[in-house]
């Protein structure tokens, strides 16, 4: 019988269950799951031997600190904006922490406090970022071992549904936060190409940065730059590279469909007045009528024509918009909607990566 360890998993979303399944393989790990989604943790409790704790860490910081203090490790699978709050609790109680999210400036600011506490906090330990970093360093280290100089580094990574299940206009299924997925299109990107820094603005113009992938032609893939690639020149130890690009992989048509959502205002950094807590319930039709500037009592054909006009006559983008059957507002993080439909979930995940 090995030493018993205590692990606190914060969050009960899509990526939480695979973590719980993995941790449950070791009978010496005592797992506690904290989440403000009571129904989700109750369902997880029926499948795994966990201690479910219903809590909202934003409103119950004292309870968070009490839980953290009893752990050997905290795994934060919450939205990235909440990681600094968790990290501060870990620093206070001198408990190690890991997360799959990118290291944000807010987390970076805590570096000295982490060192002073004598603990380890590691981010970017998911698929992308995460496994792609590990594969990158393995490849780079092997090249350096034989005396090679890295002149170009390009990688694309994506969690894709099996082709037979890419059965919606996005040709994608959510395996992690839908808000995170959709808001990625609003993120700007920076990469190095032939010695020149290329900046890509988020939003509608991001479609111009999409590239058709010429490998695995049967899968019909596209890729686009992912955030700031240039900072990895130092991290990877490849300052010699004249080209450095980290990108996201999707099936062709994904970005065009999302571009339509941006045009319509369905993906937006600013919250609409219609989604304020005190606002009246809103139907999908009423929302679209408001966004395209017509009366909510307009006939379906009139609405469809107005939406198509807003999309510049693009029928592919119209089809994607028409598939929005259920909508959820996400007021806390300033996102207008999550595009929420049954066929956008239950994915069979396939990860594809390419390195040069």
Instruction: Tell me, rounded to whole angstroms, the distance of Cα 296 from its chain centroid.
Output: 33
Using CA atoms, how far apart are residues 127 and 177, in angstroms rounded to an integer? 14
Q: Judge whether 56 counts as a catalytic residue.
A: no
Using CA atoms, how far apart are residues 174 and 160, in angstroms rounded to an integer? 9
Q: Is the dihedral of CA 259, 260, 264, 267 positive or negative?
A: negative
Q: Which residue in the list 36, 56, 116, 128 is annotated as catalytic?
A: 128
Using CA atoms, how far apart are residues 131 and 120, in angstroms rounded to an integer? 19
Taking alpha carbons only, the member of 206, 204, 311 closest to residue 248 is 206
What spatial distance separates the first Cα and last Cα of the chain, rounded to whole Å? 45
Using CA atoms, how far apart are residues 222 and 313, in angstroms rounded to an integer? 23
Can you count the helices (H) and strands (E) in the chain?
13, 15
Instruction: Tell me, rounded to whole angstroms, the distance of Cα 216 from its chain centroid.
Output: 24
Place of tokens 């089809």: 319
Using CA atoms, how far apart are residues 173 and 19, in angstroms rounded to an integer? 19
CA distances from 225 to 158, 178, 244 (A): 12, 19, 10
Catalytic (active-site) positions: 128
């Amino acid at each position: 019988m090995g030493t018993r360890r205590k692990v606190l998993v914060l969050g009960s979303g899509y990526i939480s269950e695979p973590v719980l399944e993995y941790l449950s393989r070791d009978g010496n790990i005592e797992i506690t799951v904290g989440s403000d989604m009571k129904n989700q943790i109750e369902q997880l409790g029926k499948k795994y031997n966990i201690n479910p704790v219903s809590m909202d860490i934003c409103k119950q910081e004292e309870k968070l600190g009490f839980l953290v203090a009893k752990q050997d490790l905290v795994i934060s699978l919450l939205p990235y904006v909440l990681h600094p709050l968790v990290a501060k609790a870990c620093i206070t109680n001198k408990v190690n922490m890991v997360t799959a999210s990118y290291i944000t400036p807010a987390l970076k600011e805590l570096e000295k406090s982490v060192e002073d506490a004598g603990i380890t906090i590691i981010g970017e330990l998911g698929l992308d970022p995460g496994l792609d970093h590990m594969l990158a360093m393995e490849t780079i280290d092997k090249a350096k071992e034989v005396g090679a100089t890295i002149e170009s580094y390009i990688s694309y990574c994506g969690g894709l549904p099996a082709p037979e299940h890419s059965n919606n206009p996005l040709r994608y299924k959510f395996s992690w936060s839908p808000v995170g997925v959709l808001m990625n299109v609003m993120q700007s990107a920076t990469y190095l190409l032939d010695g020149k820094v290329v900046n890509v603005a988020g939003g509608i113009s991001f479609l111009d940065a999409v590239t058709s992938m010429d490998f695995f032609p049967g899968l019909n893939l596209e890729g686009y730059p992912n955030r700031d690639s240039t900072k990895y020149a130092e991290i990877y130890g490849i300052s010699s590279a004249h080209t450095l690009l980290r990108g996201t992989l999707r099936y062709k048509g994904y970005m065009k469909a999302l571009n339509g959502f941006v045009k319509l205002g369905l993906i937006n950094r600013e919250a609409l007045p219609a989604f304020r807590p005190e606002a009246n319930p809103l139907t999908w039709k009423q929302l679209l009528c408001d966004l395209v500037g017509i009366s909510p009592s307009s006939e379906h054909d009139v609405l469809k024509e107005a939406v198509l006009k807003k999309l510049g006559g693009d029928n592919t983008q119209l089809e994607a918009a028409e598939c929005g059957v259920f909508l959820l507002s996400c007021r806390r993080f300033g996102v207008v909607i999550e595009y929420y439909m049954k066929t956008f979930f239950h994915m069979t995940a396939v990860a594809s990566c390419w390195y040069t």
